[in-house]
A and B are shown apart, each in its own frame.
Chain A
Amino acid sequence: MEASPQLVEYFRTQMRTDPDMASAVAAIRTLLEFLRRDKGETILGLRESLKWATDCLTEVDSSVAVSSGGELFLRFISLTSLEHQDLSRCKKVMEERGELFLEKISLSRTKVAKLCHTFIKDGAKILTHSSSRVVLRVLEKAAAEKKRFTVYVTESQPDTAGKQMADALRRLNVPVTVVLDAAVGYVLEKVDLVIVGAEGVVESGGIINKIGTYQMAVCSKAHNKPFYVVAESFKFVRLYPLNQQDVPDRFKYKADTLRTVSDLSDEHPMIDYTPPSLITLLFTDLGVLTPSAVSDELIKLYL
């Protein structure tokens, strides 16, 4: 099919213009634009080309959220009566639903922040991992509510994303310390709670996130500290990993690595899987969920 480089260019432009936007939201905007420009003749052809477009985007950005966001977008717009005779009417309906979906998910971070900030008490010490825009939004809201708290951020090798998080927090006048990834066990006794973001939430209620999250979860469990996850609902994905090995390779490594490197055994994976037994609560725009409730929500979303 045509228009693949246009698609990728549009996606990259979206990501550049608003760096605060989640990559999945950019992907969904791209898919909506693709839908508008598509000149297909049948509904089935439309669905096929949307699936193909999602695959193209996952080749650019291999994060779990892009693939889950794309699939949910497709389901949401098709979850309506498409019995109209006229194809353009059907397309219009799908476009309207697509815009509705986009609107809903743009508000999701605010909803999550509203639910989560009450769990941060005055004087709390928080530990977080790497750089997550949702966690940043939660901490912004808590700071806006005039709560005093300190944050420990892990440096998060190999891309030292933790430093970006620290900079953003310093701009909010929140006292922040960057710690080594290896120092998580050391710092946990000082900490009251752990909040992390997620790249994907899987069917079991576990999460897929930047490498180092699993370690942090195991240490929190050992220290009996609550381990909270904040994630928007479009990150819910129909995957069920049994252990670290079971996570598909296409999510573990960056898209460029997958394309260029043939033998992946030398590469470091960028993500890991945290099982639901280590997670206390998940804050999503669907509400505050226990890990076992995630499966219920997924069944509602997908069935």
Chain B
Amino acid sequence: ETQTKCGTISLFSHLHQYSRKAPLTQQLSIPSTVIHPSIVRLGLQYSQGIVVGSNARSVALLHAFKQVIRDYTTPPNEELARDLVNKLKPYISFLNQCRPLSASMGNAIKYIKKEISNIPSQFKEEEAKTKLQKCIDCYINENVVLAAKAISKYAIKKISDGDVILVYGCSSLVNHILCEAYDKSRKFRVIVVDSRPRLEGREALRRLVQRGISCTYVLISALSYILPEVSKVFLGAHALLANGYVMSRVGTSQIALVARTFNVPVLVCCETYKFCERVQTDSFVSNELDDPDDLMVTRKGKTQLENWHDVSSLGLLNLVYDVTPPDFVDLVITDLGMIPCTSVPVVLRVKNLEQ
């Protein structure tokens, strides 16, 4: 019996089961009326897939928090430092129910909570609010904007003329690096690998072709066909785990595995704020399930799998993330420099010391 309920796969039954059919706000346990409107909007944007990508989600979250802080007034007999943190808790659970939080969002939230609780009690409300907004801007600037510049600087050293670079899906950081390298007159061409059902590679393809970079587009099933031509593989990451595993869009570990077999170097680009203390060795323990109805495809008027709910022994699985072991990754480029995958705990330790 691989099925418990209709459509639930027992191996993934511990994860939140997904369906886009019912409107989100009806399903939630927290009424959306007590949530700040910018947070409600953000939650809907997450769940509908309008805001996607690790960086985009954390930046959108921080902007929404700035709005919340702007509209916040301290109730009488309350301290801003403690009350604001308590106010943020239901917002975070709401967002978690809309779509599970990413590692980058988790780190951003930790940073905000720390900044809020460190506000000295003698600060007036206006002062405190301005300070917090400045902190948020500073965080975004350092960890996303400047980090991208630093990573591009290191990554461009690894791109030589005549390279054929393979990328997977749409990573904002990898696209940034390739555009920068092209602006610095490096001669290379790109192969964009894409996979269903999200087909995010098309967005990457659009951005790169617009710049003038010559690109090839293949689906992931053609990977072993195209790899003999490839000189390097650049991958983005959703998070880097403490044991050196790379958590990224599903399909990344497949690319890394096949690239290793063909002896093609695999480079992962990741900002340090996405490093998390979690440890995971497989993709089952903690993952995200997306809408299984996305796997249905309509061609020539016929929709395959239309009535999959009626077939009791059939389940559809749409995973979002997978983990890649450090043996398949040759190099991780971060804003602190180029490190091997096994040195992630050292970076975490150095960052903790700085704080």
Contact = CB atoms under 8 A, between A and B. Distances in A.
**Chain B binds chain A:** yes
Given A203-B338, A240-B338, A295 B346 contact: yes
Contacts of B336: 303
**Size range of the interface on A?**
10 to 19
A295 B343 contact: yes
Nearest to B157: A240
A299 B232 contact: no
Residue of B232, B327, B338 most packed against chain A (CB within 10 A)? B338
Given A240-B331, A295-B346, A299-B350, A205 B340 contact: yes
B347 to A, nearest CB: 8
A292 interface: yes
Interface in B324-354: 327, 330-331, 336-340, 342-343, 346-347, 350
B interface, over-half SS:
mixed
Contacts of B338: 203, 240
Contacts of B346: 295-296, 299
A204 interface: yes
Interface string A232-251: 00000010101100100000
B340 A242 contact: no
A238 B336 CA distance: 12
Nearest to B342: A292
A205 B326 CA distance: 14
A292 B340 contact: yes
A227 to B, nearest CB: 18
A204 B331 CA distance: 8
Interface in A246-295: 246, 276-277, 292, 295
- Among B232, B330, B342, the one with the most A-chain Cβ atoms within 10 Å of its Cβ is B342
Interface string B285-296: 000000000000
A295 B339 contact: yes
B184 to A, nearest CB: 18
B350 A242 contact: no
Contacts of B330: 204, 242
Interface residues of B, number: 18
Contact of B343 (A246, A277, A299): A299
Nearest to B327: A277
Nearest to B341: A292
A203 B339 contact: yes
A276 B340 CA distance: 10
Interface in B254-306: 263, 265, 267
Interface string A137-172: 000000000000000000000000000000000000
Contacts of A205: 340
B158 interface: yes
A242 B157 CA distance: 12
Given A204-B331, A242-B265, A242-B330, A292 B343 contact: yes
Interface string B154-172: 0000100000000000000
Interface string A197-214: 000000111000000000
Contacts of B342: 292, 295
Interface of A: 203-205, 238, 240, 242-243, 246, 276-277, 292, 295-296, 299, 303
29 contacts: A203-B337, A203-B338, A203-B339, A204-B331, A204-B340, A205-B340, A238-B337, A240-B338, A242-B158, A242-B232, A242-B265, A242-B267, A242-B330, A242-B331, A243-B263, A246-B158, A276-B340, A277-B327, A292-B340, A292-B342, A295-B339, A295-B342, A295-B343, A296-B346, A299-B339, A299-B346, A299-B347, A303-B336, A303-B350
Given A203-B340, A242-B331, 20 more contacts: A203-B337, A203-B339, A204-B330, A204-B331, A240-B331, A240-B338, A242-B158, A242-B265, A242-B267, A242-B330, A243-B263, A276-B340, A292-B340, A292-B342, A295-B342, A295-B343, A295-B346, A296-B346, A299-B339, A299-B347
